[in-house]
Amino acid sequence: MQRYFVEPPQFGEREVAIVGEDARHIGKVMRSKPGDKLIVSDGISREVLAEITTIEPQQVTAAIIETLAASGEPWLQVTVAQSLPKGDKMETVIQKCTEIGASVFLPFLSARTVVQYDQKKEEKRLGRWRKIAKEAAEQAHRSKIPAVEMPVKWDGLLSALSSYDLVCLCYEQEHGQQLRDVLKPFAKRLNPEQTYKIAVVVGPEGGFAEEEVREAEAKGAVAVGLGRRILRTETAAMAALTCIMYESGEMGGI
């Protein structure tokens, strides 16, 4: 069943309005008709099963049939902190990690980031990134759209690390401690009735400078390896996030 996110004001007591591009998608792409059912969420706390009553070019109205229990969200809140990669790799990271279960994306600049930062350009890209997160969340039947933050500098990232219960910095030179070595004992301490915040920090194509790793460790991050193979920057985020979701029981782990 198709799922759509709308702004909270579009919800009424008995009906919900779907507007803009989503309305066109329902009418032109999905070729839906009155009587068809869909799931609508406000991306915060409300999710309903609704039946289409009217279809217009810019708005689809649907009658609310029942309120649903949000079930597509992981109980761990994982932030993917990704050093800005080249080309459209960030789009891939956001799309796939949204499907896997990331809650927040925090792009950042590090010493070996190749991309030349331009605030106006990044603001434009931010809109596209957020659209990708929305579409991926709909496809994955999530109840919330992951937040995609504006890129921050390295110092900005470091200052944010203290707010997490666990920070795993993926470092290809870390041969002693692997991600699994950190996740196993951490997962055993988890209480499903509590909320935990985890950050996965991934460097650019050229990796982290050793000084950056030491600075992050001084702020509480744990440098971990991802096995014997070297992963692309966009692959590392997906692999690490998948491991976290598995060990926490979100993918049939503990």
Tell me the per-residue pLDDT of 33-82, one tens digit each, with 9 for 90 and over.
999 999 999 988 789 999 999 999 999 999 999 999 877 688 899 999 99
Q: Categorize the per-residue pLDDT at 131 as very low, low, confident or very high, splitting at 50, 70 and 90.
A: very high
pLDDT mean over 209-216: 95
What one-character-per-residue DSSP string does 57-126 give?
A: SSEEEEEEEEE----S--SEEEEEEEEPPSTTHHHHHHHHHHHHT--EEEEE--TT--SPP-HHHHHHHH
Where in the sequence is the domain holding 223, given as residue range(s)? 76-248
The domain total for the chain is 2
Q: Among 68, 92, 123, where does a domain finish?
A: 68
Determine, yes or no, domain membership for 175: yes
Determine, yes or no, domain membership for 253: no
Using DSSP, state whether 193 is helix, strand or coil: coil
Determine, yes or no, domain membership for 242: yes
Determine, yes or no, domain membership for 254: no
